[in-house]
Amino acid sequence: MKNNIILVVLCFPFWNLTITAQNNTSSPYSARGFGEFEQFNGVYNRSLGGVINGIRSKRTVSLSNPASLGAITQVSFEFAFRGDYSTVYNASAKNQSFNGNFNYFSLAFPVYRKQEITKDTVNKTKLYKNYHTIWSSGIGLIPFSNVNTSYFRTKDTSYGRISSVYSLTGGLNRLYWMNAVNINKSISVGLNSSYIFGQRRVQNTYFIDDSLQSRGTFDDQSYRFSGFLFNLGTQIERNIDTIVRHKKDSIGKIISTRKIPIRFIWGASIHNEGNINYSLSRLTLNKSLISSTYRDDTIINQETTRRKTNIPLSFSAGMSVTINNKWMLAFDYQASMLSKMDKQLFNDSFTNSSQINIGFAYRPDRDVEYLEKNFGKRKRMNLEYRFGFRYLNSGFNFRDNLGNILPMKEYGISFGIGIPKLKEYWDGKKVILKSMVNLTGEYVMRGSTNNGLIAENLVRLTIGFTISDIWFTRKKFN
């Protein structure tokens, strides 16, 4: 218990890093709306192409569907780091950049567990106490959106050639508290309450390209956002189905029967349309470009103005099927009503976004019983392997050189490896605590270079640590 408390305390500097130094992108697409939306899930889900609704694990929470928290039986502390290598290009040029940062953390734990008396799986006459989770809770911090882009451009006018430098930085964070209740052993519901906060800063500099270049116009707009979002999720589990395989002798007589378990998870979640408060401060100056002693002319000096905007409604649904506790296939459909984005605040064009996610996983360590029988005897490391694919119609619209307005589309593939670390715990019976180191690599392709547009290729590496433990219980000895 003491070691776990120390671990949580040591991670508080990362909290401050995420709030004050968030910069997880350099994509030009982050200039639209609130910026490049962050996936509201952990490294495990990302390795599966971002699937969320069919993921239900005793040690990992699928953040976008709070009902998945109901499966937690142990304390699960998770944090991750992320690095992006991006190449932005068009038909004639390209630019490369790297971004890396602490990404997120979450802490999930069972709040109330119901005691049950069950039989030992080996010695059928031996009884022991088991616990069924009724209520679970979790907290965490993760980026909501990332903004970081800049460019330089020139334009010929009747006054001469005007050059401008444009910069957009900032982003929003999500501080969340989620709770889940298991109505019975098959149905769970969950509610996630998120506090969204952050800033967005827009800086423009204009000047005329002449021989003097004596003065320029500097426009600085600073936005601060805060508000609440809620999302509701549900999951239904069915794990009573089996595939029956018979082994027969040479004359066709059945000599043995094998039952292969099948587990189905169906899930759905909805995020409400949230009202977000924001304040705007703006300062526009005419300044000298060659001397700091010349007087500045103030054109606009707008003090803090408070207004409201919205984050549109979104929803998702999906399922997974697991065969023999080893092979899993999952898929999701997600949509967001971005066409209802505030056009007054964001002078951009949006359409509704949609996304398809597909994930596949293979786990040699089939279940807890397998671990209990083989713990301490294994001579090899049983890694978990995950693959994923996603297709996203972002809803961010761009105009090409022919005047066509086209939505930006994104394709991504992912691969992940889970490295388990097992520890034995005694609570009246042997319990296996399984912590994980998760590595996920993603390759993302965005946009197109047709008719003057730009495209982006992104290589993303995320490393996450999931630490499982049992808190608030007294150890028992024989």
Digit-coded pLDDT (tens) for 230-264: 999 999 999 877 777 777 767 777 777 778 889 99
What pairs with residue 251 in β-bridges? Answer: none
Residue 264 contacts residue 290 (beta carbons within 8 Å): no
For helices 12-20 and 2-10, give the axis angle rounded to 10 degrees: 20
| Rounded-to-integer distance, Cα 238 and Cα 187, Å | 9
CA distance 69 to 188: 9
Please name the amino acid found at residue 374. N
- From CA 156, how far away is CA 161, in angstroms rounded? 4
What is the structure's pLDDT at 21? 43
**Confidence band (pLDDT; 50, 70, 90) for 50?**
very high
At 272-327, the pLDDT tens digits run: 998 899 999 988 888 776 656 566 777 888 888 888 999 999 999 999 999 988 89
Name the residue with higher pLDDT: 1 or 473: 473
Instruction: Provide, rounded to the nearest whole percent, the portion of the chain with pLDDT above 70.
Output: 80
pLDDT band of 432, cuts 50, 70, 90: low
pLDDT of residue 371: 54
User: Is 477 inside any structural domain?
Assistant: no
CA atoms within 13 A on the CB side of 298: 5
Which amino acid is it at 477?
F
Q: Is residue 476 part of a domain?
A: no
126/119 Cα distance (integer angstroms):
6
Residue 126 has a pLDDT of: 65
What distance separates the 2 farthest-apart alpha carbons in the chain? 104
Dihedral sign for Cα atoms in the order 439, 87, 200, 100: positive
Q: What is the mean pLDDT of residues 119-131?
A: 63
Inside any domain, residue 283: yes
Strand partners, 307: 278
| DSSP-based three-state secondary structure for 146 | strand
Quickly tell me which residue has 């082994």 as its tokens.
Answer: 247
User: Residue 206: helix, strand or coil by DSSP?
Assistant: strand
Predicted pLDDT at 8: 42
The answer to the question of residue 447 being in a domain is: yes
Specify the pLDDT at position 451.
Answer: 84
Q: Write the DSSP assignment of 159-194 as a string of letters.
A: TEEEEEEEEEEEEEEEEEEEEEEESSSSEEEEEEEE
One-letter identity of residue 365: D
Given a cut of 50, is residue 55 above it in pLDDT?
Answer: yes
Q: 4: pLDDT confidence band, cut at 50, 70 and 90?
A: very low
Q: Chain centroid to CA 122: how far?
A: 41
CA–CA distance, 217 with 204 (Å, rounded to integer): 8
Q: Which domain holds residue 316?
A: 2-469
pLDDT of residue 431: 63
The candidate with the shortest Cα–Cα distance to 30, out of 406, 357, 461, 447, is 447
Would residue 271 count as lying in a domain?
A: yes
Q: Percent of the chain scored above 90 by pLDDT? A: 38
Residue 372: per-residue pLDDT: 53
The answer to whether residue 23 scores a pLDDT higher than 70 is: no
pLDDT surpassing 90 at residue 123: no
Q: Which residue has the higher pLDDT, 228 or 3?
A: 228
Q: Cβ(197)–Cβ(206) under 8 Å? A: no
Q: Is the pLDDT of residue 373 over 80?
A: no
Mean per-residue pLDDT for 44-64? 91
Mean pLDDT of all residues belonging to the chain? 82
User: What's 139's DSSP letter?
Assistant: E
Question: What b-and-e string marks burial along 389-402, b requiring 16 or more CB atoms within 10 Å of the CB?
Answer: bbebbbbbbbeeee
CA dihedral 409, 352, 461, 89 (to 10 degrees): 30
For residue 445, give the amino acid letter. Answer: M
pLDDT (average), residues 84-112? 88
Q: Assess whether pLDDT exceeds 70 at residue 399.
A: yes
CB atoms within 10 A of CB 289: 13
* Residue 246 lies inside a defined structural domain of this protein: yes
Q: Compute the Cα dihedral for 289, 291, 295, 300 and give only its sign.
A: positive
Residue 7 has pLDDT above 50, yes or no: no
Q: Does the residue 443 lie in any domain?
A: yes
* Beta pairing, strands 94-119 & 430-447: unpaired
Rounded Cα distance, 83 and 71, in Å: 30
Provide the domain count of the chain.
Answer: 1
Q: Which two tokens stand for residue 8?
A: 């949580």
Tell me how long the chain is: 478
Neighbour tally for 381: CB within 10 Å: 9
> 474 in a domain, yes or no?
no
Task: Tell me the mean pLDDT in the region 389-408.
Answer: 88
- Contact between residue 168 and residue 30 where contact means Cβ atoms under 8 Å apart: yes
The candidate with the shortest Cα–Cα distance to 117, out of 367, 428, 373, is 428
Of residues 252 and 371, the one with the higher pLDDT is 252
Chain mean position to CA 327: 23
SS (H, E, C) 27-46: CHHHHCCCCEECCCCCHHHH
Strand duo 297-311 + 274-288: pairing? antiparallel
Q: Which pLDDT belongs to residue 379?
A: 46
CATH number at 101 reads 2.40.160.60
Query: How much is the pTM?
Result: 0.83
